[in-house]
């Protein structure tokens, strides 16, 4: 029997990875400072939403 994969477990690590890449690429001047200043608050908001949605996830409650 195949085990059910819960993708909601991967949302927070992926968003944290994107946040880290945002800062790294901004430091290396791959992204402009304006882009970094715009995206990091959005990524933090998405992380918070992912944390709140975890409680409502039906696939994780087994």
Confidence (pLDDT) at 3? 66
pLDDT tens-digit series, residues 4-35 = 666 677 777 888 888 888 888 888 989 888 88
pTM: 0.67
Q: Is the pLDDT of residue 36 over 60?
A: yes
Q: Is the pLDDT of residue 62 over 60?
A: no
Confidence (pLDDT) at 37? 86
CB 15 within 8 A of CB 39: no
The mean per-residue pLDDT over the stretch 32-40 comes to 86
Q: How far apart are CA 16 and CA 59, in angstroms?
A: 22
CB 47 within 8 A of CB 12: yes
């Amino acid at each position: 029997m195949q085990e059910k994969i819960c993708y909601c477990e991967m949302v927070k690590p992926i968003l944290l990875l994107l946040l880290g890449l945002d800062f790294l690429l901004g430091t290396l001047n791959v992204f402009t400072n304006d882009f970094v200043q715009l995206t990091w608050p959005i990524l933090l908001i998405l992380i918070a939403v992912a944390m709140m949605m975890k409680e409502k996830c039906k696939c994780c409650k087994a």
